[in-house]
Amino acid sequence: MRQRLTTPDLATFRRLFLRPQSVAFLPAIFLAAFWFGGEAALIVTTVLFPAAVYALASDNAGSRAAANKDGLTGLPLRPAVLEALDRILDMRDTNGRTTACLMVEIENIGALSASYGAETTDKLQQIAARRIGDTMREHDVVAKLDGTRFAIALAPVRRADLETLIQLSSRIQAALAEPYSIDSAKIYASASIGFCTPTRAPAQSGAAYLDAAEAALLDASHNGPGSIRAYSADRIHRPLEHSFDPDEVAMALENGHIVPWFQPQVSTDTGEVTGMEALARWEHPENGVIAPAKFLPMLEELGLLERLGEVIRFHALSALQSWDKNGMRIKSVSVNFTATELANPKLVEKLSWELDRFELSPDRLEIEVLENVIAATDDDIIPRNIRALKAIGCRIDLDDYGTGHASIANIRRFSVDRIKIDRSYITRCDIDREQQDMLAAILTMAERLELETLAEGVETLGEHAMLAQLGCGYVQGFSVSRPLREAHVQDWVAQHLKKIEDAPRIGRRAG
């Protein structure tokens, strides 16, 4: 087959003229210029040829520099951090200065992208990059890594101890926690940070520092939003990266390694524990507890989400029955239902059998339905199933309210009992007046529609107090408790009840 001829481009000329071998052709080039154009052409070639080579070389250097930068943020990439760390570590014995490495990750970017769109989250990352750069010193190196991670190599310092790094991490978090005004929307984001200090580094090399910071970041991400962790060889046991085989995930589900952990829901009025939400966790025998974001997409690809729902419900209802027998009254347990499960024509029959099996009344089970399922569904089976579940006595929670654009008509159509207000409306509500106004509007609407309200993702006591003041009925989040293994629930409830009993009585309660 004859090859098609193409016109040489600028890159081709660079490759030809910038090679060392090209010097051998210089006499021929100048001789040809003299032969065809005489002395004048020789003079012109002598002057212009070096300028042309310089221009090509400069452009080539610029192209290499651009290739070593992130296209979205303009920050350098991983090699820049490794080079900076290695350079400083090589000179530490000479100048007595050292360095440290930090890794920062913007959290919940997937949820933000689903709510606001990829373009908005791209802009958020650009702003975050600038904020990190503004927080650091002039010669500190900030680089963009994969996903929403950033790495920082500190410029040479006399001391980089634990206290200094914690203070620096807190400043970075404070800068990233400020609201992001993008396309008339105010968005909040949090960040986890892991870092490696010189005294704890597994080896004195840039790669070792960066790997240790990444391990610390992974440890931070397992401890909830906004966590800061220092690298410690004694505490870091998880591998940095682990891709699970589909068969491994499926076997984990069938072998009982994927189980519910329970997060308490409490009344803002009395502090009473009113329910527990069942949250799927993979208790991996080697890698520790795996968050659902790591395995749910694979279960979805395998078509096992409905099976996951059966497993979580079995353990959740079994736990509820066990708590009853131990005299610990938990009113209900909440379980999330996917669109696939809700579209099963035999769902009501199946749930009725499961409740009878554990001798539980239907009102002990809260059916959590994502708002985007209600907003997007055009399947008549789903609303019919939800209404039938409500008719037998189950309660219906509308999850992630405020992100899926469900209309008031749909709330009525699906017989919703309670709305769970998305965390995006909760973050910093104790200090942000706009957040308070949005919450007040949602709570007023819910009151008019006679809906109960629960705020999810409540992380601080200030947020908790503001929600109580605004009239939100129930709260759930780290300000109350992290998700608990079933075996730890009873002890936590006992401690919580004791805390309520020991609280000082003021106002009406004092009487």
73 within some domain: no
Beta-carbon contacts of residue 198 (< 8 Å; ≥ 6 apart): 98, 99, 100, 160, 204
Question: Do 265 and 183 fall into the same domain?
Answer: no
Give residue 65's pLDDT.
46
DSSP three-state, residue 377: coil
DSSP sequence for 302-332: TT-HHHHHHHHHHHHHHHHHHHHHTT----E
Question: Do 487 and 403 fall into the same domain?
Answer: yes
Beta-carbon contacts of residue 292 (< 8 Å; ≥ 6 apart): 279, 280, 281, 282
Question: Do 277 and 143 fall into the same domain?
Answer: no
Question: Do 352 and 478 fall into the same domain?
Answer: yes
Q: Which of 230, 254, 282 is the last residue of a domain?
A: 230
Give helix 206-221 / helix 78-95 axis angle, nearest 10°.
120
Q: Which of 230, 261, 279 is the last residue of a domain?
A: 230
How big is the chain, counted in residues?
A: 511
437 within some domain: yes
Residue among 81, 71, 58 nearest 143 (CA):
81
Domain count, the chain: 2
- In whole angstroms, what is the distance from residue 15 CA to residue 307 CA? 58
pTM, full prediction: 0.70
Give residue 402's pLDDT.
78
Beta-carbon contacts of residue 267 (< 8 Å; ≥ 6 apart): 274, 473, 474
Beta-carbon contacts of residue 247 (< 8 Å; ≥ 6 apart): none
Give residue 6's pLDDT.
43
Give residue 167's pLDDT.
92
Per the CB < 8 A criterion, the answer to whether 306 and 350 are in contact is no
428 within some domain: yes
Question: Do 312 and 346 fall into the same domain?
Answer: yes
346 within some domain: yes
The enclosing domain of 393 has a CATH number of 3.20.20.450
- In whole angstroms, what is the distance from residue 91 CA to residue 97 CA? 8
DSSP sequence for 187-210: E---EEEEEE-TTT-SSSSHHHHH
170 within some domain: yes
- In whole angstroms, what is the distance from residue 335 CA to residue 244 CA? 25
Question: Do 222 and 257 fall into the same domain?
Answer: no
Q: Indicate the residue type of 28.
A: A
478 within some domain: yes
Encoding tokens for residue 132?
A: 């990190």
Question: Do 127 and 261 fall into the same domain?
Answer: no
Give residue 468's pLDDT.
95
Q: Which of 206, 230, 254 is the last residue of a domain?
A: 230
**Half-sphere exposure at residue 7, Cβ-oriented, CA atoms within 13 angstroms:** 2
Range of the domain at 392: 246-502
Per the CB < 8 A criterion, the answer to whether 14 and 60 are in contact is yes
Encoding tokens for residue 73?
A: 């943020």
The enclosing domain of 105 has a CATH number of 3.30.70.270
pLDDT, tens digit only, all 511 positions of the chain: 444 444 445 455 455 555 555 555 556 665 666 666 666 665 666 666 666 655 555 555 444 444 578 889 999 999 999 999 999 999 988 888 999 999 999 988 877 887 788 898 999 999 999 999 999 999 999 999 988 999 999 999 988 888 899 999 999 999 998 889 888 888 888 899 999 999 999 999 999 999 999 999 988 887 777 889 999 877 655 544 456 788 889 999 999 999 999 999 999 999 999 999 999 999 988 878 888 888 888 898 888 999 999 999 999 999 999 999 999 889 999 999 988 899 888 999 999 999 999 999 999 999 999 887 877 666 678 888 999 999 999 999 999 887 767 778 878 888 899 999 988 889 889 998 989 999 999 999 999 999 999 999 998 899 999 999 999 999 999 899 999 999 999 999 999 998 888 777 655 545 5
Question: Do 313 and 210 fall into the same domain?
Answer: no
Question: Do 182 and 301 fall into the same domain?
Answer: no
Beta-carbon contacts of residue 258 (< 8 Å; ≥ 6 apart): 252, 280, 281, 282, 283, 295, 308, 311
182 within some domain: yes
